[in-house]
Amino acid sequence: MTTETTREQGQCLCGAVRFQAQIGAREIGACHCSMCRRWSGGVFLAVECEGVSFADEKALGVYSSSEWGERCFCTSCGSTLLWRSKDGAHTAVSVQAFENPSDFRLVSQIFIDEKPDCYSFTQATKNMTGAEFIAMVTSAEQKHD
Ligand SMILES: [Zn+2]
Ligand SMILES: [Zn+2]
């Protein structure tokens, strides 16, 4: 089965950072890890994208959050934009940066064991604990955080 790829625009709240990203499956993975929650101010709702290109990188902030990952944000308005692996293999873009988040479907939740009790999603999703997720990505040679 092949998934049609589309190219879409995304941007931060103030518009200083604009980018284009190639989107395959229009699926959202939610990450409840403590880093994503602090960083995003909520739950990081991520869409795996390829070929992200920024129109202008002047206002683009890059925070190195671990040995293998970094987080991009707008230095002007503070919007959470994307997480990417330093090896360039993976880019997870915030669904909120796109024009129509309703075009995407929530399919998975990771670090479900780090989710605070104060909220829950009602959708039926594939859920993984942090340990399960790390075991999966380590075997597939991908990493997160
Ligand atoms: Zn901004
Ligand atoms: Zn996370």
Tell me, what's the pLDDT at 77?
A: 98
pLDDT at res. 139: 82
Ligand 2 centroid–CA 44 distance in Å is: 7
Q: What pLDDT was estimated at residue 142?
A: 52
Kindly give the distance from the C-alpha atom of residue 63 to the centroid of ligand 1, in angstroms, as a whole number: 15
Helix, strand or coil, per DSSP, at residue 95: helix
pLDDT over 90 at 145, yes or no: no
The per-residue pLDDT for range 55-79, each reduced to its tens digit, is: 989 999 999 999 989 999 999 999 9
Looking at the predicted structure, is the pLDDT value of residue 128 above 80? Answer: yes
Report how far ligand 2's centroid is from the alpha carbon of 18 (Å): 23
| Domains defined for the chain, CATH in brackets | 6-139 (2.170.150.70)
| Closest ligand to Cα 13 | 1
Q: Looking at residue 138, what is its pLDDT?
A: 81
| 78 phi/psi in degrees, rounded to 5 | 85, 5
- Decide: helix, strand or coil at residue 27: strand
User: For residue range 18-59, what is the model confidence (pLDDT) as tens digits?
Assistant: 999 999 999 999 999 999 999 999 999 999 999 999 998 999
Cα of 103 to ligand 1 centre, how many Å? 23
Question: Do 46 and 83 contact (CB within 8 A), yes or no?
Answer: yes
Q: Record the pTM.
A: 0.91
How far is the centre of ligand 2, averaged over its atoms, from the C-alpha of 33 (Å)? 4
CA dist 125 and 145 (Å) reads: 21
Give distance in angstroms: CA of 100 to centre of ligand 1.
Answer: 18
Tens of pLDDT, residues 85-118? 999 999 999 999 999 999 999 999 999 999 999 9
For residue 47, which of 119, 100, 123 has the smallest C-alpha distance?
100
**Where does the pLDDT of residue 144 fall: very low under 50, low under 70, confident under 90, or very high at 90 and above?**
low
CA distances, 139 to each of 2, 59, 124, 133, 136 (Å) = 24, 36, 25, 10, 5
End-to-end CA distance of the chain: 30
Mean pLDDT, rounded, for 1-26? 92
